[in-house]
């Protein structure tokens, strides 16, 4: 039911994620036009390393904290939940500082050892180091609120953080551009620092507000047995390490691409500048569109973890099955049409957003990743909520090895080059999602909507064919780029919704309930 807290939380995070991504996409478009393929390529070489460090130092802890806090909340031990947060905050401050120093010290070595092929990316990488510290601390606050299934504070902080980050990025990139692309890329990268500081301030204010309103609950729960700090810290680490590794999917993919794709493009006959530019089209222009389309599944994954964890702590198998089935079906309803639509309109989307058709092939061939990555995210969240945190990590490791094999071999072939790198990512996500589904159905005995997914895929395919023909034969010959592309996107949404209603895949009552209860 829509009244379920996990669906309401997912809706809140989705709306916030859309706002964040819209702001980020506007920034990406403006930044791409300002810096061009070469400049955005320099930024994109440095940024995945930052994401990788953040994923190692912080990504697993919001999930780990939310799992432990959700268990305490299920037992109505609110004082114990707050104690978990305080221990995690101290732990994360030390961790964030350590990894910030590691990144700063390693930046020069990455260039010296030619792991970073273009030395001009060094300044951008160094500019990101302070953000590691603040973003790591920020993870503790977000995990605490998510454990309480309070998604509004993290949502608001993300929007404000992104706005400050984007304003700083554009201002510094524009100001430093006369000094060279490497300085402009470094200025853009530094925007993550004031952004993360602002997000931390916002969540601190929310914490003070809720702490006052929960004071009576803390007093009532304080009679429970006090867990030692060491036990809490060990529980956090034990959960966070496999969760961090499992959540490394995007940083691993972009990191592997950053390390392998430019050099393998050179093997395929590209110059260093051509390889950097092509990599910018894939990682700097196509991948952000995939991330935009997977906002709902990212939100579902974040919301379903504490919901499944709470149901698991209470031994409610029926609730676990219902939440899992609903989350995966919603994933299919959103990501399958998005993937098909992006494939059908890849070139006009590239021209509209980035002012060039050159990114079209990368966008089209990376489109299947929307569904595959979304499915991986949601199934990973379900497994983590069930306490099977090691399973997604091992599955991700297997898929990363497959990614290395495919990107190494496909990218170096002149007939595939950057398109081969895109399909290596698709295969990577497919392996990870497939293994997650296998373990959920085989060992966790969770029923998933596989037949419904097949029906939704068929309807999405019909929509894609209709919209592709409409654009090519009607809209493109009659209209200019902007109205033709926007009308094609609107037509895709209308055709898809009509197909869902006509086939009974969704009905009017479900839509009415969603609209009726979204504010509750």
pLDDT value of residue 216: 65
State yes or no: pLDDT of 295 exceeds 90.
no
DSSP annotation of 178: G
Classify 446 in phi/psi space as left (phi over 0), alpha (psi -120 to 50) or beta.
beta
- Burial category of 267 from C-beta neighbours within 10 Å (exposed 0-12, middle 13-18, buried 19 and up): middle
Return d(Cα 176, Cα 407) in angstroms, integer.
Answer: 34
What's the rounded mean pLDDT across residues 407-423? 90
pLDDT category of residue 520 using cuts at 50, 70 and 90: very low
464 contacts 340 by C-beta, under 8 angstroms: yes
Q: Which residue has the higher pLDDT, 225 or 377?
A: 377
Return d(Cα 243, Cα 58) in angstroms, integer.
Answer: 10
SS3 for 467? helix
The size of the chain, in residues, is 520
Return d(Cα 400, Cα 57) in angstroms, integer.
Answer: 19
DSSP annotation of 117: S
Cα Rg of the chain, angstroms: 23
- Work out the number of other CB atoms within 10 angstroms of the CB of residue 251: 21
Q: What is the mean pLDDT of the chain?
A: 86
Torsions phi, psi for 223 (to 5 deg): -75, -15
Task: Tell which residue, 137, 164, 167, 169, has the closest CA to residue 46.
Answer: 169
What's the rounded mean pLDDT across residues 326-354? 93
64 contacts 243 by C-beta, under 8 angstroms: yes
- Work out the number of other CB atoms within 10 angstroms of the CB of residue 165: 26
Q: Which residue has the higher pLDDT, 510 or 356?
A: 356
Q: Which residue has the higher pLDDT, 457 or 23?
A: 457
- Work out the number of other CB atoms within 10 angstroms of the CB of residue 77: 23
SS3 for 371? helix
- Burial category of 102 from C-beta neighbours within 10 Å (exposed 0-12, middle 13-18, buried 19 and up): middle
Name the packing angle between helices 60-74 and 229-246 (round to 10°). 130
123 contacts 186 by C-beta, under 8 angstroms: yes
- Both structure tokens of 126: 């160094």
Return d(Cα 444, Cα 442) in angstroms, integer.
Answer: 6
pLDDT value of residue 508: 63
- The answer to which of 117-126, 358-367, 455-464, 465-474 has the lowest mean pLDDT is 117-126
400 contacts 256 by C-beta, under 8 angstroms: yes
pLDDT value of residue 376: 94
Q: Encode pLDDT of 228-287 as tens digits.
A: 787 888 888 888 888 777 766 676 777 788 888 888 888 988 888 888 888 888 888 898
SS3 for 40? helix
Task: Tell which residue, 379, 477, 491, has the closest CA to residue 434.
Answer: 379
Task: Tell which residue, 221, 203, 288, 268, has the closest CA to residue 409.
Answer: 268
pLDDT value of residue 513: 55
347 contacts 360 by C-beta, under 8 angstroms: yes
24 contacts 162 by C-beta, under 8 angstroms: yes
List Cβ neighbours of 78 (8 Å cut-off, separation of 6 or more).
Answer: 72, 214, 217, 218, 220, 221
Q: Encode pLDDT of 477-515 as tens digits.
A: 999 999 999 999 999 999 999 999 998 887 666 555 544
State yes or no: pLDDT of 1 exceeds 60.
no
List Cβ neighbours of 90 (8 Å cut-off, separation of 6 or more).
Answer: none
Which H or E run contains 325?
Answer: helix 317-344
Residue 229's alpha-carbon distances to 86, 88, 373, in angstroms, are 10, 10, 36
Return d(Cα 93, Cα 124) in angstroms, integer.
Answer: 23
Q: Encode pLDDT of 128-173 as tens digits.
A: 999 999 998 998 898 899 888 888 899 999 999 999 999 999 999 9
State percent of the chain over pLDDT 90: 34
pLDDT value of residue 201: 94
pLDDT value of residue 220: 57
């Amino acid at each position: 039911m829509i009244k379920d807290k996990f669906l309401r939380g997912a809706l809140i995070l989705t709306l916030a994620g859309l706002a964040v991504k819209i702001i980020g996409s506007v920034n990406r478009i403006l930044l791409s036009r300002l810096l061009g393929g070469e400049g955005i390529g320099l930024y994109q070489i440095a940024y995945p390393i930052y994401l990788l460090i953040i994923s190692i130092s912080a990504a697993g802890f919001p999930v780990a904290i939310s799992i432990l806090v959700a268990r305490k909340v299920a037992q109505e031990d609110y004082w114990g939940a707050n104690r978990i947060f305080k221990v995690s905050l101290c732990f994360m401050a030390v961790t964030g500082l350590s990894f910030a120093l590691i990144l700063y010290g390693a930046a020069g070595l990455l260039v010296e050892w030619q792991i970073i092929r273009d030395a001009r990316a060094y300044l951008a990488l160094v500019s990101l180091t302070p953000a590691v510290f603040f973003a790591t601390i920020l993870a503790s606050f977000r995990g605490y609120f998510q454990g309480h299934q309070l998604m509004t504070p993290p949502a608001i902080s993300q929007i404000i953080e992104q706005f400050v980050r984007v304003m700083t990025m554009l201002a510094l990139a524009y100001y430093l551009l006369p000094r060279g692309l490497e300085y402009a890329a470094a200025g853009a990268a530094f925007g993550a620092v004031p952004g993360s500081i602002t997000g931390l301030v916002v969540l601190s204010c929310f914490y003070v507000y809720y702490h006052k309103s929960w004071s009576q609950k803390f007093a009532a729960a304080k009679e429970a047995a006090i867990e030692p700090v060491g036990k809490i810290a060990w529980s956090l680490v034990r959960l966070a390490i496999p969760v961090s590794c499992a959540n490394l999917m995007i940083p691993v993919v972009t990191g592997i691409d950053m390390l392998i794709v430019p050099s393998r493009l050179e093997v395929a006959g590209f110059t260093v500048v051509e390889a950097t530019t092509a990599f910018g089209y894939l990682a700097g222009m196509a991948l952000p569109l995939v991330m935009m389309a997977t906002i709902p599944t990212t939100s579902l994954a974040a919301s379903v973890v504490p919901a499944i964890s709470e149901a698991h702590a209470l031994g409610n198998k029926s609730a676990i099955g219902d939440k899992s089935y609903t989350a995966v079906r919603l994933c299919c309803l959103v990501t399958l049409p998005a993937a098909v639509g992006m494939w059908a309109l890849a070139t006009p989307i590239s021209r509209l957003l980035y002012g060039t058709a050159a990114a079209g092939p990368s966008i089209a061939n990376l489109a299947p990743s929307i569904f595959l990555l979304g499915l991986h995210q949601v199934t990973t969240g379900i497994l983590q909520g069930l306490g099977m945190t090691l399973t997604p990590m091992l599955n991700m490791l297997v898929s990363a090895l497959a990614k290395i094999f495919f990107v190494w071999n496909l990218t170096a072939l002149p007939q595939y080059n950057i398109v081969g790198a895109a399909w290596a990512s698709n295969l990577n996500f497919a392996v990870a999602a497939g293994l997650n589904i296998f373990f959920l159905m085989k060992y966790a005995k969770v029923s998933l909507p596989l037949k419904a997914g097949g029906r939704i895929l068929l309807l999405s395919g019909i929509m894609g064919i209709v919209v592709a023909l409409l654009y090519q034969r009607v809209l493109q010959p009659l209209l200019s780029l902007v109205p033709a592309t926007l009308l094609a996107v609107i037509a895709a949404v209308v055709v898809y919704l009509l197909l869902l209603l006509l086939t009974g895949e969704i009905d009017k009552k479900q839509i009415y309930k969603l609209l009726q209860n979204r504010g509750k």
